[in-house]
Amino acid sequence: MKKIIPLLFCLIIGISMVFQFFIPHPVSTKLNTTINKWVVVLSAFALVLGIGNLTSHHITMIKRKKSDWGYSLVTLLSMFGMAIIGLFFGIDEKSLYQKIYLNILTPLGATMFALLAYYMTSAAYRAFRTRSLEAGLLLGAAFVVMIGFMPIGQFIHPYFPGFAEWLMRIPNMASQRGILLGVAFGSVATALKIILGIERSWLGGKE
Amino acid sequence: MKFFYALTRIDRRLIYLVLTVLVILPFFLKFSIPQNIMPQTKKLFDFIERLSPDDNKAVLVSIDYTPQTMPECHPMAISILTHCFKKKIPVLGVSFDPQAPGLAIEAFNTVIKNLNAQAKTYSDSIIYGRDYVYLGWKSGRIAALMEMGEKISNVFPRDYYNNYTDSLPLMERIKNYRDVSIAIILAAADYPQEWLMYAQARYGLKLGAGLTAVMAPKYYPFLQTGQLSGMMSGMKGAAEYENLLLTAGYTEETGKAEIGMNSQTLIHLLIIILIIIGNIGYMATRKQSVKRQNG
């Protein structure tokens, strides 16, 4: 029974949502609206669950004084600190919340991402070697795209921007489309397996 | 041979130092490299250029980038908002990434402060609720995207500032996607694909995108099919849009993307030079090592 009810529920909702997509009738639209509202509310509960899990995990880390438990303390203080500031002092443009966000979180995030430039430059120098024909082709394509997309590419040779754009529009697009189609067919197959109850791992448990 | 071997073993600290200098240099030495405008950026610009306030429709801007990708995507938001407001096209802002609202508010404030400083009359000014609305963030992205096609205030009963959405003058005429001329998604994640699947496939909403350079290649198929009406690709796309605004007379100077693009160009040149140096060293030493193995 513990399995049959969720499976039946999944089957009915799954099939009705598939059919309602193609039926532009007020009843179908109403069903869609109601279910969409439920999903929005349910995903808000998922957020609560996430915060709960994060909190309990980091409290355990602090209690047991596991290695780097100080970071757990920082995580909890930051999370609850921001939540309290936002809840009690507002989130508009002049608020403390927005000031902390713009002056602490934003530069920290941008700095972390900016470090990638160092790693990428160093890695490109060390790893980008023409060890085989395939590596040579990849290197050539990367060169053309990089030079073509640079503003000075047009001055190195007027054909560079056009060739770079062609690489993106034709070979890149063809391979991307192939990947997208593969993913789409895979998603349809997985969705069907879930709706029809063939794939049951989402139910959890081992019974 | 020692020379070629040295080419393959440049100290990474030296690389980091040169990189740092090249990133910082354009901020002090102001120079401009003419941009070659990519067709997808021009298409997006032309789409907004064709819009008129008489259409009685808004441009929906979904600001979904995070602080990490702010240098690439924030100038896009500034340019799109400037373009729309200069053309008196109302803007509806929304976010589906929880990190994004702070940056969305910052983008709106930057543009509005700048434009209102130049405004001479009340009607010239950009007023919240009349000319733009920021709805804020909502969880359950896919369901929210679908429901906004029926009624936006069903998903956002209150805006970011806690006003009742239906009470705002702009929202009296913007009810759902039928009242939106184009939705432009500025993101560093796969959000545009969900807009394509749920908002466009079902409701026929026209879409444009502003993506990080890493994300952009994935969206070329959608440009070719016309599902995306235009796209800004990375910092280059943002710099191109800034240049288009400048050429069209909407702004008097280019913005941060142009300066960032100068740094990026120098770094790309450095990467190209390093790869060439590394390969010369590799080729020369490989021949030697093959000889040693054989002999």
ipTM: 0.80
Contact B132, B90 (CB under 8 A): yes
- Separation CA A33–CA A37 (nearest Å): 6
**DSSP letter assigned to residue A196:** T
Joined together, the tokens standing for residue B42 give: 């021009």
Does A173 contact B221 at a Cβ distance shorter than 8 Å? yes
Query: Distance between CA B272 and CA A180 in Å, rounded?
Result: 31
CA B6 to chain centre: 41
Tokens encoding B226: 């016309």
Identify whether residues B240 and B139 lie together within a single domain.
Answer: yes
B133 within 8 A of B81, measured Cβ to Cβ: no
Q: Which residues contact B175 (CB under 8 A, 6 or more apart)?
A: B151, B152, B153
At residue B30, the pLDDT reads 76
- B266 and B153 in one domain? no
**Cα–Cα distance measured from residue B131 to residue B126, given in angstroms and rounded to the nearest whole number:** 6
> Which of B38, B74, B76, B54 has the alpha carbon at shortest distance from B181?
B54
State if pTM tops 0.95.
no
Closest CA to B204 of B226, B230, B172: B226
CB contact under 8 A, B220 and A152: no
Task: List the CATH number of the domain containing B106.
Answer: 3.40.50
- The average pLDDT across A70-86 equals 94
Measured distance CA(B44)–CA(B42) in Å, rounded: 5
Reported residue count of chain A is: 207
Angle subtended at Cα B192 by Cα B81 and Cα A49, rounded to the nearest 5 degrees: 105
One domain for residues B137 and B231: yes
Q: State mean pLDDT over A33-51.
A: 86
Q: Say if residue B129 is in the same domain as residue B172.
A: yes
What average pLDDT values come out for chain B (295 residues) when binned by 10 residues? 80 93 87 84 96 93 93 95 96 94 94 92 91 92 89 93 94 95 94 92 94 92 94 94 94 88 90 91 80 69
Residue B77 corresponds to which tokens in the numbers above? 């938001």
CB B259 within 8 Å of CB B97:
no
Residues 15-74 of B with CB under 8 A from A: 15-16, 19, 23, 33-36, 38-39, 66-71
Domains identified in chain B, total number:
2
Structure tokens at B38: 């990519």
pLDDT digits (tens, 9 = 90+) for A141-165: 988 888 888 888 888 888 888 899 8
Looking at the complex, does the CB of residue A115 fall below 8 Å from at least one CB of chain B?
Answer: no
| Residues in a beta bridge with B62 | B94, B185
Q: Measure in Å the smallest separation between the Cα of B256 and chain A Cα atoms.
A: 15
Q: Is the pLDDT of residue A207 over 60?
A: no
Of B227, B134, B125, B208, nearest to B174 (Cα)? B134
Q: Chain A contact for B160, CB < 8 A?
A: yes
pLDDT at position B21 is 94
Per DSSP, the residues of A67-110 read: TTHHHHHHHHHHHHHHHHHHHHH--STTSHHHHHIIIIIHHHHH
Specify the DSSP element, H or E, that contains A45.
helix A26-63
CB pair distance less than 8 Å for B139 and A47: yes
Q: What is the mean pLDDT of chain A?
A: 89
Determine the 3-state secondary structure of B261 from DSSP: helix
Tokens 């979180």 belong to A105
> For the purposes of burial, counting CB atoms within 10 Å of the CB of A115, is it exposed (0-12), middle (13-18) or buried (19 or more)?
exposed
Amino acid of residue B10 = I
Looking at the fold, whether B47 and B26 belong to one and the same domain comes out as no
Contact of B202 with chain A, judged by CB distance below 8 Å, is answered with: yes
Residues 63-82 of A with CB under 8 A from B: none
Could you list the beta-strand ranges (E) of B36-104.
Answer: 58-64, 91-95
Q: Determine the structural domain holding residue B5 and report its residue range.
A: 1-32+258-294
Q: Give the end of a domain, one of B253, B268, B286.
A: B253
How far is residue B40's CA from residue B231's CA, in Å, rounded to a whole number? 5
In this structure, the answer to whether residues B203 and B85 fall within a common structural domain is: yes
Other beta carbons within 10 Å of A170 = 12
Show residues of chain A in contact with B278, CB under 8 Å: 125-126, 128-129
Q: What is the DSSP letter of A172?
A: I
Which one, of B152, B160, B205, lies nearest residue A33 by Cα?
B152
Residue B229: its pLDDT value, please?
96
Query: What is the per-residue pLDDT for B295?
Result: 63
Closest CA to B136 of B93, B197, B84, B200: B93
On whether the CB atoms of residues A149 and A161 are closer than 8 A, the answer is yes
